[in-house]
Structure 1
Amino acid sequence: MNGEARIKMLREAPIPALLLKMGVPTMIGMLVTGFYNLIDAYFVGGLGTSQMGAVSVAFPLGQALVGIAVMFGGGAASYLSRLLGEGRGKEAGRVASTALYSSLIFGTIVIIGIECRLDHVLLGLGATETILPYARQYAVVYVASSVFNIFNVTMNNIASSEGAVKVSMAAMLLGAALNTFFAPVFIYGLRMGILGAALATAAAQAVTAVMYLAYILNRKSVFSFSPKEFTFERTVFREIFKVGIPIFVFQLAASAAISMTNMAAKPYGDSAIAAMGIVTRVISMGIYAVFGFAKGFQPVAGYNYGAKRYDRLRNATKVAVEWTTCFCVLFVLLMAAFPASVISLFTANDGSVVRFGSWALRVNVITFLFYGMEAIYSMLSLALGESLGGWVLSAGRQALFFIPAILTLPRAAGLNGVIFAQPAADVITGFVMGIIALRLNENLKVLEKNTASRRAADGKKPAG
């Protein structure tokens, strides 16, 4: 599908069909990202509890680095969708190029900084004396290869903004398939242990990057990504950061939440750290699915808002909320029914990990029921350029409300406090989401009514 056809689809396609075309591929793409983490956990779990703990400790680093890509790519995606909806293609090209090159430059600088202080960083993320050697071995490759993932995630967001969701889905699926193949070969076949897990992920992400590079060089995008289009214009960076910084805060908050959970679980041993790491990865699969669909919803919302098609925008929001909520209900029922079976997939017969992880999974998954509405209204806020609402919803469950919970509940309730911190934050975020959703819906109704009145008035004016 060429660029003009994708724009026409955003403007004219029936909303349910449009959401399926846009949302399902991005959802699959995000699920693939989560699948990378599950593959590492699944195969590393067979090496031992300390090795599983090492992957759990290093996981926040990957989340934080992806945050850089989402800050530039996700921030640009919202602006790009609106520019395309307004017919400002040349400006959109400058924004896309600026976002891509900025993410790579900034990301590389951060990666070098982390590698120079790797042991200190890992200890700060909750590594114990027994976990640290494995965490170091895994993270030195995992962090360095994140430059590929920064490129991939930035391109994923930019391609989605122009409706090229199938390209992202194909690239991510191939990467996941290769990671699934490489991981057991490197870890067990070549006897590389936990280092093999990091190398398998690096190789798979490199292949995904090559596919995106081919997409650029073969000129299949509406954007050229020429270095000449890179700009230091304040307007461009202001628009990117207006949406990108709240998303970046969300990613950093997610990273901080995982590391703070590791630190809170640290006094209870490697099994507690490993179990909470497994729970985080499992629930992340549900989060990635919903967030991926919401990413597909974002260009639909941004384009129709820019084109002043508020009726289509409200309809798309209603359908997206209904679909994501249904998914959340099914996910909760499945995880709550078989928690021990799920946790057992990621541990080498460690009974304490299974017992603790099963209880933690059942408790933490319940409040996932709210996440569909939170994700859609967060994306709607960002697509409309209302960064405050998007920031509150993005950062609420893993920063504004989670940090106080994880700092206080473990002191009051011990290990159960670690488990209940995230559900407590989720409940508060749900109440805030309800307030923001009501305000956004009222604003859209007013805009739709005013637009209809103007069109009716223009129709009554005499010709000439």
Structure 2
Amino acid sequence: MDQIDARSKMLGVGKVSKVITKLAVPAIIGMLVNAVYNFVDTMFVSWIGTNAMSAAQVGFPVFMILVAFGQLFGIGGSSYTSRLLGESKKEEASKTITVVYITTVISGIVLGICGLVFLNPLVNMFGANSDNLSYTLAYTSILFVGAPFILGNMALNNMLRAEGSAIASMCGLMLGAVLNIILDPIFIFVFDMGVGGAALATIIAQGITTLFLLSYYIRKKSVVRMKLSRFKPSKKIYSEVFKIGLPTLIRQLLASISIGLMNKAATGYSTEAVAAIGIVSKIFMMGFYALLGYTQGFLPVAGYNYGAKKYQRVLDAIKVSNKVSTIYCVIVFAVFTIFARPIVMIFRPEPVVADIAIKGLRIWAISMPVLGYSMVINMLFQAIGKAKEAALLSISRQGIMLIPLLLILPKLFDLNGVLSAQPIADVMTFILTMILGIIVNKELNKLNDGDKKISKAA
């Protein structure tokens, strides 16, 4: 109770800016670990050559599909588990995590088999061509073999966070990233496995991380227990998991389709263009993931105070978060624009790839200043339970807005159309977010004014 009271006091009474920062720092670290891993992984692959780099970019949507299904079970399962723990139903929570994890592993095996059977048409759909096909097949086939580890790892990370073991989850993320960074050059260059070595390094790192996270349950360090005897699937468990997990799955699949369409459009111009987009997306991810981590610190502050009817604190949290995130995004915009060349050259690209990537990074950076506001308002809708608005904004940036642009702009502006699609989608999403943000801000101010009147009357 002391911990619960202390957390409640922090969220409901503590200085808003300090509370958000305190909650955001671990999330930022966790997100940056993922971003750094992706950055370094791409860097090593790019050192092999343009065809290998383009193959990894074509294979990235495959990895995202596997992550999407992992999040379906991980986020859905963690949400239901945390609610059960809140209701003091520890036995039911233990049963749930057992069912969710075993189902996740089985799903990974099924997805892996299906992926290997339909591997050629799948990679062709995501932008493979004659230059990079052999590299792409080598990369994606290993990813599908390791699918049970990718999905299982995602599920375990989320379920440990659900029971409050955030440090264990963060350690798992960091272990996986560090192992991947160490194994990448060994398999790629020492064992001369090329792009297939990068995929194998990923799977081995995921496998070891899975064992590390499972050890928390095996050594009984977790709050809930995972046992085979508790594997009792039920309609109730799956309905609760899918209710929360399906929107995340859909959002991630749309993002995967968007990247596939971007690759396909770039392939129409050259393999170098595909490689360049791969470099740009990984650099951009470094800036975006830190922003995402910060807004995850904002979410519980807004949610708690909205539930407690402390609307002024919600408004204060929005104001502070918009200010901090926008300043950060403007700084990232400046860094990406001014230092585009030296950042891109870390990947040692060929001259043609470098020119496209430098141009692409500067174009993508144009929309960076508006992303802070978009992300804060998106998280706000999630925090206060406005599921429809949150879902709409979540699928807009890399779904509703981006997919049509990728189908239209390349036909009008060639490669510039491919490079411009994402930032234009970001600006369009910002406009939609601003409209919804103005509406919700008015609602919050109205609720706050009502509370002030009640307080004065009392």
When normalised by structure 2's length, the TM-score is 0.88
The answer for the alignment partner of 1:335 in structure 2 is 336
CA distance in 2, matches of 1:83, 1:436: 33
1:207-246 correspondence to structure 2 within 5 Å = 207-225=208-226, 228=230, 232-234=234-236, 237=238, 240-246=241-247
CA distance in 2, matches of 1:40, 1:151: 21
User: What's the secondary structure of 1:46's corresponding residue?
Assistant: helix
Between the aligned partners of 1:167 and 1:143, the Cα distance in structure 2 is 26
Q: Which residue of 1 aligns with 2:61?
A: 60
Contact 1:126-1:263 at 8 Å conserved across structures: yes
Contact 1:82/1:306 (8 A) holds in 2: no
In structure 2, the partner of 1:400 is 400
- Which residue is equivalent to 1:351? 351
Say if 2:281 is the partner of 1:274. no
Q: CA deviation at 1:238?
A: 5.0
* Secondary structure of the corresponding residue to residue 379 of structure 1: helix
Q: Deviations over 1:9-45 (max 9, x none)?
A: 5412234444334322222222222223222211111
Q: Is the 8 A contact 1:72 1:154 kept in 2?
A: yes
Rounded to whole Å, the distance in 1 between the matches of 2:217 and 2:196 is 32
Q: Which residue of 2 aligns with 1:120?
A: 121
How far 1:125 moved relative to its partner? 0.6
Does 336-345 or 99-108 show the bigger shift? Answer: 99-108
- 2-structure distance, mates of 1:124, 1:199: 23
Distance 1:64 1:264, change over 3 A: same
Q: Deviations over 1:133-177 (max 9, x none)?
A: 011111111233243232333333334445543322222112211
1:25-424 equivalence runs, <5 A? 25-77=26-78, 87-90=86-89, 93=93, 99-225=100-226, 228=230, 232-234=234-236, 237=238, 240-303=241-304, 305=306, 310=311, 312-348=313-349, 350-424=350-424
Separation in 2, partners of 1:423, 1:283: 11
> Secondary structure, in 3 states, of the residue corresponding to 1:45?
helix
User: Structure 1 residues 295, 356: CA separation in 2 closer, same or farther (over 3 Å shift)?
Assistant: same
| SS at 1:414 equivalent | helix
How many residues get paired?
A: 451
Counterpart amino acid of residue 386 in structure 1: K
Tell me whether 1:12 sits opposite 2:9 in the alignment: yes
Percent identity of the aligned residues?
Answer: 35
- The verdict on how the C-alpha distance between 1:427 and 1:161 changes in structure 2, with shifts beyond 3 A counting, is same
For residues 347 and 96 of structure 2, the distance between their equivalents in structure 1, rounded to whole angstroms, comes to 42
Gap change, CA 1:354 and 1:252, over 3 Å in 2:
same
The unaligned stretches of length 5 or more in structure 1 are none
- Counterpart residue identity of residue 203, structure 1: I
Change (3 A) 1:233 1:325: farther
Q: Counterpart of 1:11 in structure 2: which amino acid?
A: S
Change in Cα spacing, 1:231 to 1:96, as seen in structure 2 (3 Å) is same
**3-state SS of the aligned residue for 1:126?**
coil
Distance 1:95-1:433 versus aligned 2 partners, 3 A rule = farther
TM-score (norm 1): 0.87
Partner deviation per Cα, 1:333-371 (whole Å, 9 max, x = no partner): 1111111212222234x1000101111110012212222
In the alignment, the residues of structure 2 paired with residue 371 and residue 440 of structure 1 have an alpha-carbon distance, to the nearest angstrom, of: 18
Residues 232, 370 of structure 1: alpha-carbon distance in 2 compared, 3 angstrom cutoff: farther
Q: Please say if residues 106 and 148 of structure 2, whose CA atoms lie closer than 8 Å, have aligned partners that are also in contact.
A: no
The unaligned stretches of length 5 or more in structure 2 are none
CA RMSD in angstroms comes to 3.0
